[in-house]
């Protein structure tokens, strides 16, 4: 320990000792807190950002668009100062307060990588996309079966009951479709499927045997059950203003759901403004003994102690903390006997979209601003490899009425134009890619040896790039999706590859991957570090491969599973 830490450490061991410490308060951190507190553990949640309370700290939740200076957009000055976060989907003046400004927390891009962060209690659970489809057995086995990755130490059957556990508590709308590639879950009623989408769904059924367009599986309360009412949450109002924070609790966030639930047990302590420096390893005990933090405001260094530590800081920050957790036993980062800590970073391929127009159905509309999209279930490389590339992809799809009238003979002025504004225009259809990517060792993060942040912690260097596999998948998606829409009668079809840098999908994964062999992985089947069994990693860093489905609900399921295991091990005296 440096002189700096020994001189500035404060607090007594007794006052700073808990049964469990959770690093991060987002989607997985909230679930760790809920499960550990419910099962009797005095739990400290460390959050590097400010506190956010449900309802109280949603300043724009009900602000009408005309009250924003730029109608929800940002000034040119702000955009120039923040070229990174302003590229994020859904970002605007109405939710700017839930995003980290570019200059506040720098990192080093050895290769272009857009790292979008949200530092506050609740993390990015306040701004996530809310898609919650389950993985199937295909995703757990494909990397090993087809030779583009190592095998997962668990399968769908291991996680299925935990999916159900999570789904019932947070509330997922959807429909049971009986599809092997996207297993059914515990669903509330779905939002309506509008007529153009019903038409496309039927066209797919008529023209293909393996293409299934289904209701979204989305974390929204369409019919709140008692467990949701007990959380103080209510029905989704279809406002589609989710990223502002929902005053109804209509979508799941840790601020509206898991953290308040954990607090009701009396076992929860949340400490915001706590920048985690490292996990403390006890050489004599042969396990982690606590966490060292730097107070974000005072720069004071404080140590907290616990029997078990859960890493839920988000994938790249979890990698950063573990890489910075050095000791005589682990000179290259906590648990890093394999030398693979920080390696095999992966993400989702979001580069492609297809859009067009559909004639007819001008007498049909829909209620509210549906906050969900439909899902065209992955149909690639399931039982066997049927493409030149590895992996599969989810296709999100929707259709909407044009909100602007066509030009009239009078142009865009006058009484006729104003009258036309009251009537919706024709139908537009769009679909976009969420594709699996191949984990490769050269895609990695590491600590800078020269540059540090404002708290003296080494900056993270990202060295992540696309793989030729991603190019082949993107091209296949564009061609197949355009063909499907054309068969459904969609016109004016446009195919688009935005060629965005990795990371903008905000689904970064890996670096502390699960595996069967400590020589090729960092974590075992219970999300424990192979070499330090009282440290669990259950955020995106634990992912062995990416699958094609949205990953957040898998993080939640793995966290609930690991937390329950940890409590049992503590009671047995094993941790």
The tens digit of pLDDT for each residue in 432-463 reads: 999 999 999 999 999 999 999 999 999 999 99
> Is 7 inside any structural domain?
no
CATH code for the domain of 339? 3.50.50.60
| Separation between Cα atoms, residue 463 and residue 446, nearest integer Å | 8
Average pLDDT over residues 107-115: 97
Pair 397, 431: CB distance under 8 Å: yes
Quote the pTM value.
0.95
> Is 127 inside any structural domain?
yes
Pair 413, 381: CB distance under 8 Å: no
- Look at residue 407 and tell me whether its pLDDT is greater than 70: no
Average pLDDT over residues 219-247: 96
pLDDT band at 403 (very low <50, low <70, confident <90, very high): confident
The residue ranges of DSSP E strands in 283-327, in sequence order, are: 287-295, 301-305, 308-311
> Is 168 inside any structural domain?
yes
Domain count, the chain: 1
pLDDT of 421: 77
Intra-chain end-to-end CA distance of the chain, in Å: 25
> Is 430 inside any structural domain?
yes
Q: State how far the alpha carbon of 205 is from the alpha carbons of 213, 217, 393, 549, in Å.
A: 9, 20, 19, 22
pLDDT of 366: 79
pLDDT of 10: 52
pLDDT of 6: 31
Average pLDDT over residues 177-183: 97
| Separation between Cα atoms, residue 254 and residue 534, nearest integer Å | 24
| DSSP secondary structure code for residue 62 in this structure | T
Tokens 């550990």 sit on residue = 36
pLDDT of 46: 98
| Residues whose CB is less than 8 angstroms from the CB of residue 397 and which lie 6 or more positions away in sequence, other chains included | 197, 200, 213, 373, 374, 375, 376, 429, 430, 431
- Look at residue 200 and tell me whether its pLDDT is greater than 60: yes
| Separation between Cα atoms, residue 127 and residue 202, nearest integer Å | 33
The count of C-alpha atoms lying within 13 angstroms of the C-alpha of 237, restricted to the half-sphere facing its C-beta, is: 12
**For residues 244-259, b (16+ Cβ closer than 10 Å) or e, as one string?**
bbbbbbbbbbbbbbbb
State the DSSP string of 178-217: -BTTB-----BPPPPPPHHHHHHHHHHHHH-SS--EE---
> Is 8 inside any structural domain?
no
pLDDT of 406: 60
61-65, 423-427, 446-450, 556-560: least confidently modelled range:
423-427
Collapse the DSSP code of 228 into the 3-class scheme (helix H, G, I; strand E, B; otherwise coil) and give the result.
Answer: helix
81-85, 172-176, 257-261, 527-531: least confidently modelled range:
81-85
Pair 208, 202: CB distance under 8 Å: no
Average pLDDT over residues 516-520: 97
pLDDT of 411: 63
The structure tokens listed for 209 are 């045997």
pLDDT digits 0-9 by tens, 23-41: 999 999 999 999 999 999 9
Is 235 exposed, middle or buried, given 0-12, 13-18 or 19+ CB atoms closer than 10 A?
middle
> Is 429 inside any structural domain?
yes
pLDDT band at 405 (very low <50, low <70, confident <90, very high): low
pLDDT of 354: 98
The count of C-alpha atoms lying within 13 angstroms of the C-alpha of 107, restricted to the half-sphere facing its C-beta, is: 22
> Is 2 inside any structural domain?
no
Pair 41, 20: CB distance under 8 Å: yes
Share of the chain above pLDDT 70, in %: 96
pLDDT of 416: 78
Pair 224, 257: CB distance under 8 Å: no
pLDDT of 178: 97
| Separation between Cα atoms, residue 249 and residue 555, nearest integer Å | 21
Question: What backbone torsions phi and psi does residue 448 show, to the nearest 5 degrees?
Answer: -70, 140
- Look at residue 331 and tell me whether its pLDDT is greater than 60: yes
Give me the residues paired with residue 21 across strands: 44, 309
Q: Indicate the Cα dihedral angle 334, 339, 344, 345, nearest 10°.
A: 40
Average pLDDT over residues 275-302: 97
Average pLDDT over residues 483-504: 96
Q: Indicate the Cα dihedral angle 210, 214, 218, 223, nearest 10°.
A: -150
Domain range enclosing 337: 13-572
pLDDT of 402: 85
Cβ neighbours of 195 (radius 10 Å): 17
The structure tokens listed for 497 are 């590859």
Average pLDDT, the chain: 94
pLDDT of 4: 29
pLDDT of 409: 55
> Is 4 inside any structural domain?
no
pLDDT of 5: 34
The structure tokens listed for 314 are 């988000």
The structure tokens listed for 559 are 């966290």
pLDDT of 195: 95
pLDDT band at 422 (very low <50, low <70, confident <90, very high): confident
| Residues whose CB is less than 8 angstroms from the CB of residue 163 and which lie 6 or more positions away in sequence, other chains included | 134, 183, 185, 553, 557
Pair 29, 54: CB distance under 8 Å: no
- The residue with greater pLDDT, 15 or 330, is 330
């Amino acid at each position: 320990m440096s002189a700096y830490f020994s001189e500035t450490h404060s607090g007594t061991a007794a006052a700073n000792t808990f049964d469990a410490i959770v690093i991060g308060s987002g989607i997985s951190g909230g679930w760790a807190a809920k499960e550990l507190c419910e099962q009797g553990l005095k739990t400290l949640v460390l959050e590097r950002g400010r506190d956010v309370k449900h309802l109280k700290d949603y300043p724009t939740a009900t602000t009408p668009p005309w009250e924003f200076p730029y109608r929800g957009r940002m000034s040119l000055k702000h955009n120039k100062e923040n070229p990174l976060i302003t590229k994020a989907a859904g970002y605007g003046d109405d939710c700017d307060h839930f995003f980290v400004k570019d200059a506040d927390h720098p990192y080093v891009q050895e290769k272009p990588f857009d790292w979008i962060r949200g530092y506050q209690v609740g993390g990015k659970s306040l701004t996530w996309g809310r898609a919650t489809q389950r993985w199937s057995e295909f995703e757990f086995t494909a990397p090993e079966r087809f030779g583009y990755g190592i095998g997962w130490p668990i399968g769908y059957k291991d996680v299925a009951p935990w999916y159900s556990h999570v789904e019932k508590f947070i509330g997922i709308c959807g429909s049971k479709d009986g599809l092997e590639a996207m297993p059914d879950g515990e669903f509330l009623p779905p939002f309506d499927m509008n007529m153009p989408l019903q038409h496309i769904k039927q066209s797919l059924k008529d023209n293909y045997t393996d293409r299934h367009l289904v209701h979204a599986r989305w974390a929204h309360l369409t019919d709140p059950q008692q467990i949701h009412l007990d959380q103080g949450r209510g029905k989704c109002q279809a406002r589609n203003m989710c990223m502002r924070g929902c005053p109804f609790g209509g979508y799941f966030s840790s601020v509206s759901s898991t953290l308040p639930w954990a607090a009701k047990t009396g076992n929860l302590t949340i400490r915001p403004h706590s920048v985690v420096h490292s996990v403390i390893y006890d050489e004599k005990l042969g396990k982690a003994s606590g966490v060292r933090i730097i107070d974000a405001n005072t720069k004071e260094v404080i140590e907290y102690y616990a029997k078990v530590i859960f890493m839920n800081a988000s994938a790249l920050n979890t990698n950063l903390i573990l890489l910075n957790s050095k000791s005589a036993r682990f000179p290259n980062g906590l648990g890093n006997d394999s030398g693979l800590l920080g390696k095999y970073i992966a993400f989702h391929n979001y580069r492609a979209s297809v859009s067009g127009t559909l004639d007819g159905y001008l007498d049909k509309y829909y209620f509210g601003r549906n906050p969900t999209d439909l899902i065209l279930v992955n149909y690639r490389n399931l039982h066997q490899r049927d493409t030149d590339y590895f992996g599969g992809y989810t296709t999100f799809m929707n259709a909407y009425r044009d909100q602007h009238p066509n030009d009239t003979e009078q142009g865009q002025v006058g009484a006729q134009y104003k009258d036309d504004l009251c009537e919706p225009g024709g139908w537009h259809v769009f679909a976009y890619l969420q594709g699996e990517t191949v984990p490769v060792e050269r895609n990695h993060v590491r600590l800078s040896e020269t540059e540090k942040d404002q708290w003296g912690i080494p900056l993270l260097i990202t060295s992540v790039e696309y793989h030729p596999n991603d190019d082949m998948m993107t091209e296949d998606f564009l061609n197949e999706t355009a063909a499907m829409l054309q068969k459904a009668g969609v016109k004016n079809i446009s195919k688009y590859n935005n060629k965005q840098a990795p990371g903008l999908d905000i689904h970064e994964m890996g670096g502390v991957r699960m595996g069967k062999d400590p020589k090729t992985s960092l974590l075992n089947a219970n999300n424990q570090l192979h070499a330090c069994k009282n440290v669990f990693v259950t955020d995106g860093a634990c992912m062995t491969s990416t699958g094609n489905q949205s990953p957040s609900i898998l993080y939640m399921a793995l966290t609930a599973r690991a937390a329950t295991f940890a409590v049992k091990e503590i009671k047995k005296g094993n941790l």
